[in-house]
Amino acid sequence: MQEAYVKVVVENNRSIIEFFHPQSNSLPGKILRELANAIETEGNNPETNIIILQSSGEKAFCAGASFDELIQITTTEEGLHFFSGFALVINAIRTTSKIVIAAIQGKCVGGGVGLAAAADYAIAVKGSDVKLSELAVGIGPFVVGPAVERKIGTAAFSALAIDATNWRSSEWAYQHGLFAELHETKEAMLAGVEKLADKLTASSPEAMAELKKICWRGTEDWNQLLIERAGISGRLILSDYSKKAIEKFKSK
């Protein structure tokens, strides 16, 4: 079985950050921190003007938190440490001066929805359905919630978070602003990413940095807020309800 990874390729004035995990691109703590570090590093790379975030494979962009790791959490400190990984990734995207394009080639669950929402511009293929499944395992989308709510609004976020077991279609995600573009095929989606990347790499880095500041205005407290939210998830994941729910999901 192929090992999980985060890799970076720099070409044509763009940094392509790709992640992979054999379990539908789920995110263990190690991968989360590697992703955050890669985004921060490439944000400071003078050889690149933009960042493209993508995952490997066909069916899933990201399945969210690793259940294998969640089931092993036994203390609130361990829970805080794990969920802080999502905070680190979102804040890395938020604070880098470079525009982050997400290439969404498959379904997004939980933290995967958070990654799509945190990206400055998400381009998806039809069939990239979304689900915030956290409530179904006894926690909630507390860390990714601010990013999702910022992108699609409170009403749509609430519907997604409360109805935690049902998928919303990629068309729904596009109509509510989670995806900026929706294409019929993966090839068309990748062509859309390339087209936008070409335009942005030819744009003024200073102007893009100023635009990004404006787009993220009002999130200055997220360094603290997302860590506080991570603490809530870190506490709830210790409940008997969560442990049993995760075991049930893992047995399917």
Instruction: Please compute the mean of the pLDDT values over residues 125-146 and round it to a whole number.
Output: 97
Nearest to 144 by CA among 80, 87, 69: 87
**Per-residue confidence (pLDDT) for residue 2, from 0 to 100:** 86
Domains and CATH numbers, the chain: 5-201 (3.90.226.10)
Instruction: Please compute the mean of the pLDDT values over residues 212-229 and round it to a whole number.
Output: 98
Facing residues of 125 across strands? 183
Instruction: Specify the pTM.
Output: 0.96
Q: DSSP secondary structure string, 183-219?
A: ESSHHHHHHHHHHHHHHHHTS-HHHHHHHHHHHTTT-
**Per-residue confidence (pLDDT) for residue 117, from 0 to 100:** 98
Count of other CB atoms within 10 angstroms of residue 228: 13
Read off φ and ψ for residue 3, nearest 5 degrees.
-75, 150
pLDDT digits (tens, 9 = 90+) for 159-201: 999 999 999 999 999 999 999 999 999 999 999 999 999 999 9
Count of other CB atoms within 10 angstroms of residue 9: 10
The answer to whether the CB of 39 falls within 8 A of the CB of 51 is yes
**Per-residue confidence (pLDDT) for residue 185, from 0 to 100:** 97
pLDDT digits (tens, 9 = 90+) for 83-113: 999 999 999 999 999 999 999 999 999 999 9
**Phi-psi map region of 81: left, alpha, beta (phi>0 left; psi -120 to 50 alpha):** alpha
**Per-residue confidence (pLDDT) for residue 1, from 0 to 100:** 60
Percentage of the chain lying above the pLDDT 90 cut: 96
Instruction: Please compute the mean of the pLDDT values over residues 67-86 and round it to a whole number.
Output: 96
**Per-residue confidence (pLDDT) for residue 250, from 0 to 100:** 77
Instruction: Please compute the mean of the pLDDT values over residues 58-72 and round it to a whole number.
Output: 94
> 251 pLDDT exceeds 90?
no
**Per-residue confidence (pLDDT) for residue 52, from 0 to 100:** 98
pLDDT digits (tens, 9 = 90+) for 25-48: 999 999 999 999 999 999 999 999
Produce one character per residue of 176-197: b if its CB has 16 or more CB atoms within 10 Å, e if not: bebbbbbbeebeebbebbbebb
